[in-house]
Chain A
């Protein structure tokens, strides 16, 4: 009996220790890694139209509030979450004032669920729909840190603050920040709104979702927040030059850059003898493009001779077009053979209708890996080994003929020996 109690006590102590062990480092890590923690800013439309009662019998606002409450409960610990509203404060008719109406409801930081929920509860549908300005401010909210950044925009109407096109704003934000994604959700959307919100999403590599029910909204926002929490490699910003001589030298890693229509981008990579260069490049279609496009990646020597190229062309709807190449540099007999500088040239054949802005350029993602070289093939088949019935037949025939010959030879020798 005593033994059982002791055992139970021991188990309890062990569990407590484990729990403490799990709890404490989590807290400590949160402090240490705030700089690299993922950040999410939820941007909620609180314009007058949110009063409409068309989501599961309740108002759009009620649906959004319910979804927010559930999302706040489910937000992972390591995510720094903030909430921004648009059209929450200015009820008047002055367009200028209405289009500035965006406020930070809850600052981006470690989440206090009760406080955040209280803040959300105070919201009531009021003003205009200044999506563009709200996005700009939201991008500022997320400024700093090295973690992934995500804006989740929930809106029920298109932007009412032209001429500032929220789509252009999104593209500019994407061009400024690295790893910032805007996901959009449209509540009971119409055609124009769908186009606008999906344009915003595509400009930053985000997603667009139409929402008709509260649970859809909750699920989707939860999914997006969870996605933000997944650790992702953040690419390093670089700027390719327009010729190899001026190009930046890259090491193994993931890089990002911008490339305009018809522009050339050059990079340099040093490859030692016996090493293999692997490079892949993706150019994103972040705006309205013509449906035929392509990308070309060339590895060129410093003297301009092409070594190898990767090319890809595509047709139709796409988020990205990508290609890659391998260049194994042969072993050198010299002891201290110098590394070869390989120039990488990236060009694209995207095009767009005349009205589409060409700057900033399209996002370009470049992966460079310099690894040990492959062992070259000296024969087509593995180790020059054979396979199949023809091989067996040939071997059997050869063996048989060899045996026969050997037999005759020895008989002949024996008979010669006998006669002598």
Chain B
């Protein structure tokens, strides 16, 4: 009897410790510099340069260009887009802005971060940031919640004097995301991630493997998540174990220690 109690107490303690430990969210993208990172940006949704998360990419262009990149974001991630625009020594003040669009080209709101910023004349650079909402595995068609798939970043100058038009500029862009974990795990999932042209690509794959240009061939490094795993399994399982142990505890309490006093010893 005593052994059971000790074991159950230990299990209880273990369970309590393991639950939150497993549930802790860990940042997903580990920073890694790569020399093969793109040094070009696209100029439209169609030509957007495909980049990976956790990698700093660069591009050069002119003030007035619309620079496009695209990156993959999977369910449970909360992407943060950071851009740095390096301006020439002499300019008359420019306002730069980043916009993020999802795979359906719907504009995605930034929760926080300086999405647009004005560089005073003579400033060497502007830093922009946009923290997106958490990407969900599923949402109703009438909502514009972020869904797994391609995301487009557009960097452009929104306010400039004509004298500054066409001046050279350099841009740096980096996308990192925080793994929100089970608290963002929703039911339901898309059959295909929200990658433009995915229907055309899958058809082409069947017919001919060497399909040339595709709208977006983007995929996270370790593939799209299947969506069935979340730490909710751990929480629920631990909860079940704890309930069972508490049940045993409650039962044991009613039994007291040893035989009931009212029962005659000779019975």
* Interface, chain A (partner B; CB < 8 A): 36, 186, 189, 191, 194-195, 197-198, 205-210, 216, 219-220, 223, 226-227, 230-235, 252-254, 276, 278-282, 308, 310, 312, 316-320, 322-328, 365, 367, 369-388, 391-392, 395-408, 410-411, 414-415, 418
User: 20 pairs across A/B with beta carbons < 8 Å?
Assistant: A194-B165, A210-B166, A227-B43, A231-B213, A232-B46, A234-B213, A252-B203, A253-B200, A280-B106, A312-B107, A392-B242, A402-B247, A403-B248, A403-B249, A404-B250, A404-B251, A406-B247, A407-B251, A414-B260, A415-B260
In whole angstroms, what is the CA distance A60 to B38 when docked?
32
The answer to whether B215 and A367 touch across the interface, beta carbons within 8 angstroms, is yes
- Interchain CB contact (< 8 A) of A316 among B43, B159, B255, B260: B159
Min CB distance B228 to A, Å, is 7
Docked complex Cα distance between A223 and B141 (Å): 40
> Does the CB pair B238–A376 fall under 8 Å?
no
Chain A residue numbers with a CB within 8 Å of B246 are 395-400, 403
Contact, CB under 8 Å: A280 / B247: no
Q: Are A387 and B235 neighbours in the complex by a CB distance under 8 Å?
A: yes
Give the total of B residues in contact with A, Cβ under 8 Å: 88
Interface 1/0s, chain B 161-180, versus A by CB < 8 A? 01101111000000000000
A residues within 8 A CB of B23?
A: 387
Residue pair A385, B197 in contact (C-beta under 8 Å): no
B238's closest neighbor in chain A, by CB?
A392
Binding site for A on B (CB under 8 A): 16, 19, 23, 40, 43-47, 60-62, 64-66, 101-107, 137-138, 141-142, 144, 156-159, 162-163, 165-168, 182-183, 185-192, 194, 196-200, 202-203, 212-215, 227-228, 230-233, 235-236, 238-240, 242-255, 260, 262-263, 267
Chain A residues whose C-beta falls within 8 Å of the C-beta of B239 in the assembled complex: 386, 391-392, 395-396
Given contacts A371-B202, A374-B191, 15 further A-B contacts (CB under 8 A): A189-B166, A205-B43, A233-B214, A235-B46, A318-B156, A319-B44, A323-B106, A372-B192, A374-B188, A382-B227, A388-B183, A395-B239, A399-B246, A407-B251, A415-B260
- A372 with B242: in contact, given A232-B47, A308-B141, A404-B253 (CB under 8 Å)? no
Q: A230–B187 Cα gap in the complex (Å)?
A: 39
Q: A276-B191, A308-B142, A399-B247 are in contact. Are A383 and B228 (CB under 8 A)?
A: yes
Chain A residues, CB < 8 A from B199:
252, 278, 369-371
Instruction: Please tell me if the beta carbons of B235 and A386 are within 8 angstroms of each other in the complex.
Output: yes
Q: A402-B250, A418-B267 are in contact. Are A392 and B235 (CB under 8 A)?
A: yes
Q: Are B64 and A208 neighbours in the complex by a CB distance under 8 Å?
A: yes
Name the residue among B45, B102, B214 with the largest chain A CB count within 10 angstroms.
B45
Given contacts A233-B215, A253-B200, A373-B191, contact A403 B251 (CB under 8 A): yes
Which chain A positions have C-beta within 8 A of B159? 316-317
Closest residue of chain B to A201 (Cβ to Cβ) is B64
Find the A residue at minimum CB distance from B227: A382
Q: A210 CA to B90 CA in the complex, in Å?
A: 14
Chain B residues near A252 (CB-CB < 8 A): 197, 199-200, 203
A398–B245 CA distance with the chains assembled, in angstroms = 11
> Hey, which chain A residues are within 8 Å of B267, CB to CB?
418
Q: Taking the nearest CB of chain B, how far is it from the CB of A132, in angstroms?
A: 20
* B236:A209 contact, CB within 8 angstroms: no
Question: Which residues on A sit within 8 Å (CB–CB) of B228?
Answer: 382-383
